[in-house]
Structure 1
Amino acid sequence: MIATLNQVVDAVEQHLTDEIDVAALARSLGTTEYHVRRMFSSLAGMPLSEYIRRRRMTLAGADVLGADDLLTIAVRYGYGSSEAFGRAFRAVHGAGPGDVRRDGGPLRSQPHLRFRLTVEGNTPMHTRIAERPAFRLVGHATRVPLLHEGQNPHIQAHIAALPASEHTRLKALSDTEPAGLLQVTDDVDPDYTEGSDLTYLHGVAITDASPVPEDLDAIAVPAGTWAVFRSEGAYPEVLQSTWAATASEWFPSNPWRLRPGPSIVAILDRSPDFRTATCELWMPIEREEEARR
């Protein structure tokens, strides 16, 4: 995966003034757009789309200090108007192109990224591969913003609004793996952009044949393969570090790729104050050769 991401970065560099078809690029490298975007965001700390924008505006900064008129530069970098180009330019450099042309700056540079695999895997990841038939996730869903660190207050408020009796009722509905009450995220931005909306469902897994109560939301999950990562320790920090390690350690070392689908967290055990917990993180995957078809 590290080599693939470097090939993506090199291709971006060669086509900074062209429209970049990330899906076609991913296919040519034997993987999927979904996996490339998720891994890039996790390892680079920014979405691929944001990296492309920053690199374009880095080059555009040098062009602005040249003799070409601003509309010509805007069109060169794929913008239909000087106004749209100016907004993108200001978002990166903190000043408009006219101001930079007049004053010589400020200019902020986005370096050409290079991914390297470092030896960090001195702590084994407790992982199992599970083949699952089709099932459904049922419960109470809401739309919340994506937050990379700390507790998500929107999710906390959603769960807190449910009466204790509803948790008991949901647990009674659970009849298949992943077992127990689940934290489900779905419809996540492939770039994993901080603040982007996702669907959060507090619920349980049921078999495809089990009836769904009319007052509950449901997510249909097709049959497929899952990587199940077990972690225990301070919550939610241990869970968030496990998320990060899947991208930096597990996927680069194993012949699997992420596939679209919900990510599921099962809380297997926890302290009374929820400061520590034992969790399972379920991520939908496919073999690398399957992703190439």
Structure 2
Amino acid sequence: MQWVDRMNLAIDYIETHLTEQIDPVEINRIMACTYSVFQRSFAPITGIQLSEYIRRRRLSSAAYDLQNTNHRVLDIAVKYGYDSADAFSSAFKRMHGITPQEARSSDANLKFYTRLTFTFMIMGVNEMNYRVLNKDSFNVLGIRRTTPYGGGTWAIIKSDGTAQKLQEIGGHLCDLGLCFGYDDEGNDDYMCGIEYSGEDIDGFDRYLCPAASWLVFTAKGTISGGILSQTWKRIYGEFMPQSEYNQLDLPTIEQYIEWDESTDTCHVDIFIPVHR
């Protein structure tokens, strides 16, 4: 089965279960990969986190129900997975700009997010350079946090002096960013750190990355031009669907060789754990 077919089947499953819990096991079966890998690859391809896509689709459907049925707001809230009318009203207003009660008006202005559809496109005019690296197990020392986005952890270590401490420990800039995946709210389990073989240090987290094979891609260009996000999108949108590699359920890694906002330049190596 082609990758594009699997993605459309996964979206079909999500669409038919908007009023139910999404079953990770079913996504595993459809995509032939783990749910966490599917979550991590979804945003680079589509530009939106999986949890945010599901939230928008549910609130789009809820708006339809409000305008076309006489069901109570609480009943509609529960139907789309909200524990209370207040929680539903808050989420609804953030997206639509009006309350559920106001949405019942015939002249209410509402937002609608359509379902995603994946289609085949001819790509490959621009080559993608990569290398395969077989690496023994290694330790990472740093700070691991779950924040609304990976940059949240970087903001923490840069503002509280932790990045400087890690630089002193390692003898070089804190250069590693490990993405472990996302929770149901789209928050990113992310670790900033350095490769480290010494003893544990109080106040720092530690992660042992097992021996694995890694695909290594390079994002090099301007920060403002979005070269990093573009490279991630090409990895999951062009390379992985057509390659003979499958991603392992290990964290992906970004190694920040250069990131200088004053000169708008960056050089980041992206490591994807894989097997053939």
| Offset at residue 224 of structure 1 (A) | 2.0
1:119 aligns with 2:97: no
Letter of the 1:11 partner, please give it.
Answer: Y
Provide closer, same or farther for how the CA distance between residues 25 and 263 of structure 1 changes in structure 2, counting only shifts above 3 A.
Answer: closer
- CA displacement, residues 67-111 of structure 1 (integer Å, 9 cap, x when unaligned): 422133333333444333333332332212211113542221111
Does the 8 Å CA contact 1:263/1:284 hold for their aligned counterparts? yes
Q: Which amino acid aligns with 1:106?
A: N
Q: Is the 8 A contact 2:144 2:205 kept in 1?
A: no
Contact kept, 8 Å, 2:180 with 2:190, in 1: the verdict is yes
Please tell me whether residue 202 in structure 1 is matched to residue 198 in structure 2: no
Alpha-carbon shift at residue 281 of structure 1 (Å):
1.7
3-state SS, counterpart of residue 105 of structure 2: helix
Show the counterpart of 2:9: 7
Indicate which of 240, 265, 276 corresponds to 2:254.
265
SS at match of 1:19: coil
Structure number with the bigger relative contact order (C-alpha 8 A, sep ≥ 6) is: 1
The answer to whether the 8 Å contact 1:155/1:200 transfers is no
Gap regions ≥5 residues in structure 1 = 173-179, 288-293
Structure 1 partner of 2:28: 26
2:273 aligned with 1:280: no
Q: How many Å separate the matches in 2 of 1:197 and 1:28?
A: 24
Contact 1:181–1:204, Cα closer than 8 Å, also in 2:
no
Structure 2 distance, partners of 1:145, 1:72, is: 31
Question: Map of 1:12-91 to 2, 5 A cutoff?
Answer: 12-70=14-72, 71-91=74-94
Q: How does 1:225-240 map to 2 (within 5 A)?
A: 225-234=213-222, 237-240=226-229
Distance 1:212 1:286 in 2: 31
**Residue 244 of structure 2: aligned partner:** 255
Q: Return the offset for 1:228.
A: 0.9
**Letter aligned with residue 36 of structure 1:** F
* Partners of 2:201 and 2:131 in 1: CA distance: 34
**In 2: Cα distance, 1:19 partner to 1:136 partner:** 36
TM-score by length of structure 2 reads 0.78
Which amino acid is the alignment partner of residue 260 of structure 1?
A: D
CA distance, structure 1, for counterparts of residue 259 and residue 59 of structure 2: 47
RMSD (Å), alpha carbons: 3.4
When residues 56 and 2 of structure 1 are mapped into structure 2, their CA distance, relative to the original with a 3 A threshold, is: same
The Cα offsets for residues 7-52 of structure 1, whole Å up to 9 and x where unpaired, read as 1111122222232213323224422111211222222222222222
Pairwise CA distance, 1:267: 5.1
**Which structure has the larger Rg over C-alpha atoms?**
1
Match of 1:170 in 2: 170
Deviations 1:243-267 (A, max 9, x none): 2321222212213333333333345
Normalised TM-score (structure 1)? 0.74
User: Are the aligned partners of 1:5 and 1:40 in contact in 2 as well (CA < 8 Å)?
Assistant: no
Secondary structure of 1:116 counterpart: coil
* 1:129–1:228 Cα contact (<8 Å) kept: yes
Check conservation: 2:59, 2:92, Cα contact below 8 A. yes
Equivalent residue pairs, number = 268
Change (3 A) 1:142 1:53: closer
* CA pair 239-155 structure 1, distance change in 2 beyond 3 A: farther
